[in-house]
């Protein structure tokens, strides 16, 4: 049985490759090149210096060392055009609307489990494999997406938009492991990436100064920072740079009129170009108890209207008890009576039935009872 694994140059996919080999699969690897830093003029390093190699090129070199050490053929495939058209264009469009998108969800939907799968099929693959912390349960001809054992690393949130057909062809070799176990396997096998730190930047674009990066593509429009009572207390650099519930980077100094407490983003007034802030982590304006969401995707079985499920409104959030109602096939209203802080348009609401990830949708509008939050 032939498996094509997505080898990113990180420790997780490196260990996934090792495990597939140990299990006796006919394995080849594929490195995805999805971003051209030089063409997009956002990498300022010196290509002639080893220390200044483009991060994505460094990842390829690391992937090649791992593949070579394990005797595995490594293919290098460019998805630059596909990534720009389906992921990055969406990313920019959401920021233009002053929403907070999740490019990792779209990257999985359009690149890792669509474009990648199609290329792997051309290479004769029976399955594709990724180094995600997730699991697949196959039962009665269906494939169910199951949370990874390591709850701190579980990545099913980012997989909420993949299809049943894609999941049928997918494997997650490390989903049953904790991160510490993955590191140990890498070190025991002396894999080149065994001590490489995890990437935390934008999917395939990497770690960089986010505001400066975004300025390359979208013009900033500065404006006032106002309190929930309307007082002007500072200036913002552009509404798109801020997300609901944000604390850091507001640049608000001391003010004798207010208590010495932290400020948080509570909303955005698009007409006046104002960033609305309040004091206190749980300001009432940050709390909602229902939202509307679109682009609904069920991975296997459809959710049942009115049944109690669990949901996450952002990655690594605690589970929240929810019910939902269908508006149509692609839109739902989600209810969470206990209230949830900072549910944010552009992010995904991902629905679980205990350990099974049922699917998800993109948050559009957020409400507290019948009052629409100014997000």
Output Rg (C-alpha) for the chain, integer angstroms: 22
Q: Residue 153 contacts by C-beta under 8 Å, 6 or more apart in sequence?
A: 133, 178, 179
In angstroms, what CA-CA distances link 368 with 18, 252, 284, 335, 364?
49, 27, 9, 10, 14
Does 160 participate in catalysis according to the annotation?
A: no
- Catalytic residue, from 203, 266, 291, 357: name it: 203
Residue 340: strand pairing partners = 288
Angle between the N-to-C axes of helices 55-69 and 11-22, in degrees from 0 to 180, rounded to the nearest 10: 20
- Catalytic residue, from 107, 160, 291, 357: name it: 107
Does 357 participate in catalysis according to the annotation?
A: no
Outline where DSSP puts E strands in 131-231. 134-139, 142-147, 170-171, 223-227
CA dist., res. 132 & res. 82, Å (int): 21
Evaluate whether 291 touches 351 at the Cβ level (below 8 Å). Answer: no
User: Which pair of structure tokens corresponds to residue 215?
Assistant: 């300025």
Please report where in the chains the tokens 């058209």 appear, as a residue: 85
Tell me the catalytic residues: 107, 203
């Amino acid at each position: 049985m032939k498996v094509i694994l997505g080898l990113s140059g990180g420790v997780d996919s490196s260990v996934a490759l090792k495990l597939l080999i140990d299990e006796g699969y006919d394995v080849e690897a594929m490195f995805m090149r999805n971003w051209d830093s030089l063409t997009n003029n956002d990498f300022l390093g010196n290509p002639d210096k080893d220390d200044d190699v483009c991060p994505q090129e460094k990842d390829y070199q690391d992937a090649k060392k791992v593949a070579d050490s394990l005797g595995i053929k490594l293919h290098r495939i460019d998805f630059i055009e596909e990534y720009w058209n389906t992921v990055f264009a969406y990313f920019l469009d959401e920021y233009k609307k002053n929403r907070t998108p999740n490019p990792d969800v779209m990257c999985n939907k359009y690149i890792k489990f669509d474009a990648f799968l199609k290329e792997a099929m051309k290479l004769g693959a029976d399955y594709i494999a990724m180094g995600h912390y997730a699991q697949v349960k196959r039962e009665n001809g269906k494939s169910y997406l199951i949370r990874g054992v390591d709850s701190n690393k579980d990545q099913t949130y980012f997989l909420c938009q993949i299809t049943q057909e894609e999941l049928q062809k997918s494997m997650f070799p490390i989903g049953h492991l904790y991160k510490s176990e993955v590191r140990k396997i890498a070190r025991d096998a002396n894999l080149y990436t065994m001590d490489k730190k995890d990437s935390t930047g934008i999917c395939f674009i990497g770690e960089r100064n986010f505001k400066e990066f975004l300025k390359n593509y979208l013009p900033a429009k500065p404006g006032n920072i106002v309190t929930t009572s309307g007082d002007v207390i500072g200036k913002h650099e552009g509404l798109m740079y801020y997300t609901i519930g944000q604390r850091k980077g507001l640049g608000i100094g001391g003010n004798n009129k207010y208590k010495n407490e932290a400020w948080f983003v509570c909303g955005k007034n698009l007409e006046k170009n104002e960033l609305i802030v309040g004091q206190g982590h749980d300001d009432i304006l940050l709390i909602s108890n229902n939202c509307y969401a679109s682009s609904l995707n069920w991975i296997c079985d459809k959710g049942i209207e009115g049944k109690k499920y669990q949901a996450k409104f952002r990655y690594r959030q605690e589970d929240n008890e929810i019910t939902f109602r269908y508006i149509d096939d692609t839109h739902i209203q989600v209810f969470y009576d206990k209230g949830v802080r900072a549910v944010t348009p552009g992010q995904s609401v991902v629905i679980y039935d205990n350990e099974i990830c049922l699917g998800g949708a993109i948050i559009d509008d957020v409400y507290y009872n019948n009052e629409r939050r100014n997000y």
